């Protein structure tokens, strides 16, 4: 056992039957809740290290669960999302969820997302001073970005966008979060503006900008920066 506790919040019995043995086999202690009320109570009493949360709960919207939890807890939350609920998925991420996996999902993908979220919880890379992936090196102390040892010239906004994504490596960051964090609340809907800057960044940092390996698109949601190997 790895000692990490996971609270699975889903009212579908088949999901619970699938996740409990799979997560237990991966070394996690698993707790279950089928409603939002049960989830909030379990989060307070079992102190989970991570929560897997379905948005479609019988007693309250999953987004309300996130909002209530974020009032007193920073526990990582991964959404279990249906493909036809994109708007709700985005809203949940903006409320403070850390990531999402779409149903149906494979246990390999899910456990990889869990490991990433737990590493961020423990602060392994969230406040890293240096980040390196696929030949790109970001030195946040010196504000220096290099590719293959050669300096990469970035505008201040490009640098801010790049480092924001890097600090959340492995996790999806929504369009709205990127826009409001880098350009301010008035630009929360300027998706074309963001796409232009992402395109410019890819031209400067990717080996093949047409097939990006560092800044990956999450269609309709945002972008995910690659984790270092």
Q: Mind listing the pLDDT tens digit of every residue in the chain (229 residues)?
A: 578 999 999 999 999 999 999 999 999 999 999 999 999 999 999 999 999 999 989 999 999 999 999 999 999 999 998 766 788 889 999 999 999 998 888 999 999 999 989 987 765 444 568 889 999 999 988 999 999 999 999 999 999 999 999 988 888 999 999 999 999 988 878 899 899 999 999 999 999 999 999 999 999 899 999 987 6
Contacts of 51 (CB under 8 A, 6+ apart): 6, 7, 9, 39, 43, 69, 75, 76, 77, 78
Sign of CA pseudo-dihedral 208, 211, 213, 217: positive
Domains of the chain: 5-121 (3.40.50.2300), 130-225 (1.10.10.10)
Identify whether the C-beta of residue 157 lies closer than 8 Å to the C-beta of residue 183.
yes
Longest CA pairwise span in the chain (Å): 55
What are the counts of helices (DSSP H) followed by strands (DSSP E) for the chain? 8, 12
**pTM for the whole thing?**
0.81
């Amino acid at each position: 056992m790895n000692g990490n506790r996971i609270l699975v919040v889903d009212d579908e019995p088949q999901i619970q039957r699938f996740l409990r043995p799979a997560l237990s086999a991966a070394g996690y202690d698993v707790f279950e809740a089928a409603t939002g009320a049960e989830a909030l109570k379990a989060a307070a009493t079992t102190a989970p290290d991570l929560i897997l949360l379905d948005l479609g709960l019988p007693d309250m919207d999953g987004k309300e669960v996130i909002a209530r939890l974020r009032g007193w807890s920073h526990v990582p939350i991964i959404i279990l999302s249906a493909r036809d609920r994109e708007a709700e998925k985005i809203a949940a991420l903006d409320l403070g969820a850390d990531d999402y996996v779409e149903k149906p999902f494979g246990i390999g993908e899910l456990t990889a997302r869990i490991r990433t979220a737990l590493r961020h919880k423990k602060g392994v890379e969230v406040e890293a001073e240096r980040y390196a992936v696929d030949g790109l090196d970001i030195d946040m102390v010196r504000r220096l970005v290099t590719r293959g040892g050669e300096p990469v010239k970035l505008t201040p906004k490009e640098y801010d966008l790049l480092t924001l994504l890097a600090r959340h490596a492995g996790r999806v960051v929504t369009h709205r979060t990127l826009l409001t964090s880098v350009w301010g609340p008035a630009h929360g809907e300027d998706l074309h503006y963001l796409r232009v800057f992402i395109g410019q960044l890819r031209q400067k940092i990717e080996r093949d900008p047409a097939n990006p390996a560092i800044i990956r698109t999450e269609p309709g949601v945002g972008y995910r920066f690659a984790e270092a190997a």
